[in-house]
Amino acid sequence: MKRIGFLLKVKQEMLEEYKKHHEAVWPEMLEALSKHGWHNYSLFMREDGTLFGYFETPGSFQAALNGMDGEAINAKWQDFMSPYFESPDGAHADKMMVALEEVFHLD
């Protein structure tokens, strides 16, 4: 499995609402993520809205993103969540993800 980490930034004034939506992620979205190799997917957030995402995938980061690109539910989720991020207007978070370099790992 390849371990993937990425950063995004949630708008300060929308932190609580963002967290609330992640208490009940749409079942179809969860199914699509699993189907396309997003395993052990976790999101961690600092008080300033900096979001660290982590998941494991059998293929590449790009393959995991490409798989989700073909899912209609992903487009709906990305449209729904885009206002929460500090990004160009309407930009989808999955288009702003840049994989972080793994520099250390301990099993």
Q: Has residue 33 been placed in a domain?
A: yes
Tens digits of residue pLDDT in 51-75: 999 999 999 999 999 999 999 999 9
Query: Structural domain tally of the chain?
Result: 1
**Residue 54 one-letter amino acid:** Y
Whether this model's pTM surpasses 0.75: yes
Helix 27-35 with 72-81: angle, nearest 10 deg? 120
Residue 43 lies in a domain: yes
Query: Of 21, 22, 39, 105, which is the active-site residue?
Result: 22
- For this structure, is 105 an active site residue? no
Domain extent for 80? 2-50+67-90
101 domain-assigned: no
Residue 95 domain-assigned (yes or no): no
CB-side neighbour CA atoms (13 Å) of 52: 7
Q: How confident is the model at residue 26 (pLDDT cuts 50, 70, 90)?
A: very high
Q: Which residues in the chain belong to E strands, given as ranges?
A: 2-9, 39-45, 50-57
